[in-house]
Amino acid sequence: MKPSCTVARAAGHARPGWRRAPALGLTAALVIGVGCGRLAGKAGGAAASASASASAAPSTSAATAPSAAAPGTRITVARERVGAVRVDRITREIRVPAAPTPGAPARPALELVERIERRIEIRALSEARVGAVAVEYRAAEVTRDGQRAPDPRNGRRFLVSIREGMLTVSDEKEAAVAESLASLVAADHAFLDTPFPLAPFLPDGPLTAGSEVEPSHDAVLALVGGTGDFDVKTLKLAFEGTDGTGAAARARFRLTASFRVTLGDRPLELDLGGQARVEVATGRVTAVEAVGSATTVARGPGEAPARGTARIVLNSTYE
């Protein structure tokens, strides 16, 4: 049996202005990419959010009537356990129209859509953190400019683990997989324990309306995965309130994100706004929805930018 493929260093927590190098070497045709200390909460404004969902999983746009944030809302972060299962349903979409360029052929329109359903089971813990997971891709498909591209993850199972600080990927029998496939799977699992890393950055004290949480900029990996390189400008969440009571209580956070990402040879500016929802009793993220604009970056004189749309939806259920 060949050893599993080591593909990338496990994600750390970066400082503002951090830029991710395209170490995984993925092609935009396969993925949009579109996968600890605590930070104190800070005062900020609260606002409404935009959301949309393309799956049957619970959405942040659920019909539960929102309630005002109760003073002293405290989110409990539950310990992970071996055997716990999470099912993620993810949609990532970027659509930009053709850009007219005087005296030159117009740059073609860009359309990139990724849809994933994956089942993740915790297989091992390391110092109370998730060290290994089994991943089953129940569905994985990518469409680029109207053409569906084969996705080698579809219908397959993998083991993803952190060994000596490195992220490794193997098949379900711990045999090695092709490096290109291992990189693709690794890019989809920047964080083994969560669909979006929020719990480590919650304040020690209770949250009140307007309290801000600023995750490390590498949290953007959960939104864009393995698209290539990106440069984060803004990533911020503001606590808005809670819906429901008891075990059904969900904390609402307004999400603001702004970053540059490169799809193939096309640099884009993404400006997104939306919502994240978290189980108050466990700290587990159940949904992240962000919509906004995607604008091409002019790369020379006379090249006009084109403005389109971007949408990222992550819905998670726990078994």
Q: Which domain, by its residues, includes 57?
A: 5-318
With 80 as the cut, is the pLDDT of residue 36 above it? no
Each residue of 204-250: pLDDT tens digit?
Answer: 889 999 999 988 888 888 888 765 677 899 999 999 999 999 999 99
pLDDT classification of 101: cutoffs 50, 70, 90: low
| CATH code of 142's domain | 2.30.230
- Contacts of residue 150, defined as CB under 8 A and 6 or more positions apart, other chains included, come to none
Each residue of 163-189: pLDDT tens digit?
Answer: 888 899 999 999 999 999 999 999 888
Q: Which two tokens stand for residue 127?
A: 């110092």
- This prediction has a pTM of 0.76
Strands 99-101 and 104-107: antiparallel
Cα gap 195→220, rounded to integer Å: 11
Please check whether residue 169 is in contact with residue 182, taking contact to mean a CB–CB distance below 8 angstroms.
Answer: yes
Give the residue, 154 or 65, on which the prediction is more confident.
154
With 60 as the cut, is the pLDDT of residue 58 above it? no
Query: Tell me, what's the pLDDT at 165?
Result: 84
Q: Which two tokens stand for residue 294?
A: 């995607």
Average pLDDT on 65-86 reads 79
Q: Which of 217, 120, 134, 131 is nearest to 166 (CA)?
A: 131
Query: Tell me, what's the pLDDT at 235?
Result: 93
Domain count, the chain: 1
Each residue of 3-33: pLDDT tens digit?
Answer: 566 654 444 433 333 333 333 322 222 233 3
The Cβ of residue 11 has, within 10 Å, a number of other Cβ atoms equal to 20
DSSP characters over 190-226: S-SS-SS--GGGS-SS-B-TT-EE---GGGGHHHHTT
Average pLDDT on 268-290 reads 96
Helical residues (DSSP H) of the chain, grouped into ranges: 179-187, 221-224
